[in-house]
Amino acid sequence: MRFTLLVCIVLYTLTTFAQSTLCSTPQQCNTLGKRAYEAERWQAAINFFELQVDLAEADNDTKLMQIGYNNLAMAYYHQGKFREAYAWIKVALADPEDKAARYNAELIQNKLKGPSQDKAIKGTYKQYAGGTLWNILKVNSLSDNRIEYSLSVNRAGRRPVQTYGPAAIGEIAGQGQLEGRQAVVEYRSENDQQCFLRILFEDEAATLEQQDPSPQCAVGGLGVAAHGRYLKTEP
């Protein structure tokens, strides 16, 4: 079993390295991603579009950033991963002038409508952190109206992130008591200070608020933020 895992890790690393050496600019990555997309090689397209976004953000090339966000959304859409697609299209919709994003958002939202809409609290929630990194909140329902959670937050640094990894990471985990559709959970900071995080659950989303905004209660290193809205991507 360990041997199989090692092989998978090595293959993933070699694949990522091969893709990163094939394109070194956002435009090159976009071209290769489109070729994979048109051939319906969705995962290969996603890998190239992620590199495109990563490099475009580093260059502050807003046009290729927006194209990359939309392309990632639609590649996940064709994979049938509609919540992942919705998370990416929400990133694109931050630009109110992006007509393609509005059109793609309607396609994706049509797949999420109806009685299948998930109102359960349990699941995985994501918030975009830049550099194709995501802050991830995982929640599990326990007995007596309690929840178990884990939170991992990131900050992008040197690009491409696929090569160098995040510049800072913060992780906390624990349990909390639900009151309606919200919970205030306690965690210990890096300097062992008592801190609290409020989690408000909505339909297919969660909003996090740090009760103590002081730097001593920061989750992770400098520039890492845990607060804000997270979209549900897995039940």
The residues near 117 (Cβ < 8 Å, ≥ 6 apart) are 203, 204
What are the residue boundaries of the structural domains of the chain, listed by start? 2-112, 123-234
- In the three-class reduction of DSSP (H, G, I as helix; E, B as strand; rest coil), residue 107 is classed as helix
CA 33-35-38 angle, 5° bins: 110
Cα separation, 235 vs 175, in Å, equals 19
CA 155-156-159 angle, 5° bins: 170
Q: Which residue from 225, 81, 153 is spatially nearest to 89, judged by alpha carbons?
A: 81
At 212 the pLDDT is 76
The residues near 180 (Cβ < 8 Å, ≥ 6 apart) are none
Q: Which residue from 138, 121, 118 is spatially nearest to 201, judged by alpha carbons?
A: 121
The answer to whether 91 and 53 have CB atoms below 8 angstroms apart is no
Residue with tokens 């046009």: 63
At 118 the pLDDT is 64
Cα separation, 62 vs 28, in Å, equals 16
Q: pTM of the entire structure?
A: 0.85
At 18 the pLDDT is 44
CATH of 2-112, one of 3.40.462.10, 2.60.120.260, 1.25.40.10, 3.30.930.10: 1.25.40.10
pLDDT by 10s per residue, the chain, length 235: 333 333 333 333 334 444 445 799 999 999 999 999 999 999 999 999 999 999 999 999 999 999 999 999 999 999 999 999 999 999 999 999 999 999 999 999 999 875 555 678 999 999 999 999 999 999 999 999 999 999 999 999 898 898 889 999 999 999 999 999 999 999 888 788 888 999 999 988 999 998 877 777 888 766 787 899 999 999 8
DSSP annotation of 170: E
The answer to whether 34 and 8 have CB atoms below 8 angstroms apart is no
- In the three-class reduction of DSSP (H, G, I as helix; E, B as strand; rest coil), residue 167 is classed as coil
The answer to whether 181 and 202 have CB atoms below 8 angstroms apart is yes
CATH architecture of the domain formed by 123-234: Beta Barrel (2.40)
At 221 the pLDDT is 67
